[in-house]
Chain A
Amino acid sequence: MTILVKDLISKKGGKTTSDLLTRPVGKKYYQSAEKKLSSAMKGEVVILDFQDIKVIDPSFADEFVINIVKMSHSKDFYIRLRNLTKSAQNNISSIIDSYTAFANKDYAVAVEELLDNGSHFLGNIGLHEKEIAEFLRINKTASTKAISDNFSFSESKTENFLKTLESLRIIRTDDTGKYFSVL
């Protein structure tokens, strides 16, 4: 499922906004997205497309992005962000960091664009986990053995890294034991 964020709220005269600002507006957008997300299937990758959006302020991001990320954990779907400007990346990154510190639990989100941190992920991810997530992004899918061989990690160590990434919901697995990137 792809949600084009600019179309979540229709404006008078069909106008759309380039800036997603304030907490009350974030709440409105979340309520609209929530309806669409109710039909998301278990394990589905949902793309939040911010096409034509320039600014997402931290208050909006708190109400919209954080709530959708939390929802993805409880409803078992995956999130991927598309078309983030630099400013939007920085603001979303700052709220994920703050929320992580507050909740005392790591949160992360996958982004299609290459970010300033040299990866495709916002949030608190360890270096090795990040490398594995990038490996999966490029290869789309891989087994634990293939990953451990590639990085020269033991299989048990690799398994731990993969479990961390899975709990962050930036990779997923299936019945065959293979891992997939959400990107």
Chain B
Amino acid sequence: MSSNYEFLPTIKHKIMQSDTISPDTLNDVYSFENIISLEQTLYASGNAKIDLSKIKFINPYCAVNLLLLGKNYLKKTGSKISLINLTPDISSYLERMDFIKKNIFSIESSESKKLSRSGMSKSIIEITDIPGKERESVKAITNVVALFRKRAEFIFKSSFSENNTDNFITVISEMCQNIFEHSLDSGYVALQTYKTAKGPVVHLVVADSGIGIEGSFVRMNKDCGRGSELLVKALTTPISSKREFGYGLCRVNKIVENMNGNLYLRSNSDSVAAMNSQKNGRVFFSKSNLPFFQGTQISFFIMGTNS
């Protein structure tokens, strides 16, 4: 597991004041784990703040989950969390990803540099709502896929191929469908390409704040295991909470495996990371009893797009 930087643990974020979280990083799944572990401090007073002054880069997993956290807070308290001390770069990035447009946070920042849509725009998919209702959701998925197809050449760059594009479309479609099929809530999808120490990556995130995978099985009175064991099962066998059998997550994991990609799945208090190992094939690292974060969040990571 330590071979992949995405899964490297980071230093715990500091709590500046009782109601302010001040993260050091927002660039991997573990940095967001730290935010989740401090989530309750945001509810301590009516003036919750997240101080982003130290943040130089946000990956799409953290951006989308930050939105879910803010959405849940707004739903529960009726007020918005304030994002404070955003650097101009972060402010511009959040604007470019349509994060600010969601109107979930109060944003206090210095003037943002306007990022031109023509430059960065073609290699991302902005954070897009996936509604909880079937008809609207199908429409949203169709639109996201159409946009992805249009931009695929810029997203994959030298590793662009019809087959990679088609495989990613299957992944986007199947994952987004799980939101309206199982979560009983709405969610988001986003995609971003960026450079890392190990090379450029294509990073796709699909997340919701619904009942979670185990919740979906419990709701349908189906027993296919519990916790992270159930998550691994969902990635490796064709099980479904709604039908006699299913393919979604299982097929998605196979596609990501064939593309030599990593997958991180978190649901309520459990998680599993799946990646290819030269020795052991597809390996799974699961965790249980994580701090509760409502819903299911999936992150896909494909390496190797050279500009």
Q: Which of B173, B244, B248, B251 contacts A21 (CB 8 A)?
A: B173
Contact indicator A85/B247 (Cβ below 8 Å): no
The answer to whether A54 touches B162, judged by C-beta atoms less than 8 angstroms apart, is yes
Residues of A within 8 A of B174 (CB): 57-59
- Per-residue CB proximity of B211-250 to A under 8 Å, as 1/0? 0000000000000000000000000001000001111100
Instruction: Contacts A21-B169, A55-B170, A86-B166 known; list 16 others, CB within 8 Å.
Output: A18-B149, A19-B149, A19-B169, A19-B173, A21-B145, A21-B173, A24-B138, A25-B138, A54-B166, A57-B170, A58-B248, A58-B251, A59-B247, A85-B162, A85-B166, A99-B245
- Tell me the complex Cα distance, A55–B169, Å: 7
What are 6 of the A-B contact pairs (CB < 8 Å)? A22-B177, A25-B138, A55-B173, A57-B170, A58-B251, A85-B166
B145 and A19: CB pair below 8 A? yes
| In the complex, B273 has a CB within 8 A of chain A | no
A22 contacts B247, C-beta separation under 8 Å: no
B244 touches A102 (CB 8 A): yes
Mark each residue of chain A from 1 to 27: 1 if its CB lies under 8 Å from any CB of chain B, else 0. Answer: 000000000000000011101111100
- Which residues from chain A sit less than 8 Å from chain B, CB to CB? 17-19, 21-25, 54-55, 57-59, 62, 85-88, 91, 94-95, 98-99, 101-102
Nearest-neighbour CB distance to chain A for B136, whole angstroms, equals: 11
Most chain B CB inside 10 Å of its own CB: which residue of A22, A86, A91, A101: A22
The answer to whether A22 touches B166 (Cβ under 8 A) is: no
B167 at the interface (CB under 8 A from A): yes
Contact B247 A98, beta carbon cutoff 8 Å: yes
Are B163 and A87 in contact, with the CB atoms below 8 A? Answer: yes
Report which B residues bind A (CB closer than 8 A): 134-135, 138, 141-142, 145, 149, 162-163, 165-167, 169-170, 173-174, 177, 181, 238, 244-248, 251, 254
Q: Closest approach, in angstroms, between the C-beta of B224 and any C-beta of chain A?
A: 14
CB contacts (< 8 Å) of B135 on chain A: these are 24
Q: Give Cα A55–Cα B164 distance, bound, in whole angstroms.
A: 11
Complex Cα spacing A86 to B161, Å: 12
Known pairs A22-B138, A24-B134; A57 contacts B173 (CB<8 A): yes
Residues of B within 8 A of A101 (CB): 238, 245
Query: Shortest 5 CB-CB distances between A and B: which pairs?
Result: A87-B166, A58-B247, A98-B238, A21-B173, A102-B245
B130 to chain A, nearest CB (A): 12
The distance in angstroms between the C-alpha atoms of A91 and B165, with both chains bound, is: 14
Q: Would B141 and A21 count as touching, CB distance under 8 A?
A: yes
Q: Which of A54, A55, A88, A102 has most chain B Cβ within 10 Å?
A: A55
Cβ of B251: which chain A residues have Cβ within 8 Å of it? 58, 91, 94
Most B C-beta atoms less than 10 A away, residue of A18, A25, A59:
A59
Looking at the assembled complex, report how far the CB atom of A134 sits from the nearest CB atom of chain B, in whole angstroms. Answer: 25
Q: A22-B141, A87-B167 are in contact. Are A98 and B245 (CB under 8 A)?
A: yes
Known pairs A22-B138, A101-B238; A87 contacts B170 (CB<8 A): yes
How far is it, in angstroms, between the C-alpha of A95 and the C-alpha of B238 when the chains are bound? 9
CB distance from A126 to the nearest CB of B (A): 22
- In the bound assembly, the distance between CA atoms of A98 and B248 in angstroms comes to 11
Q: Chain B residues near A86 (CB, 8 Å)?
A: 163, 166
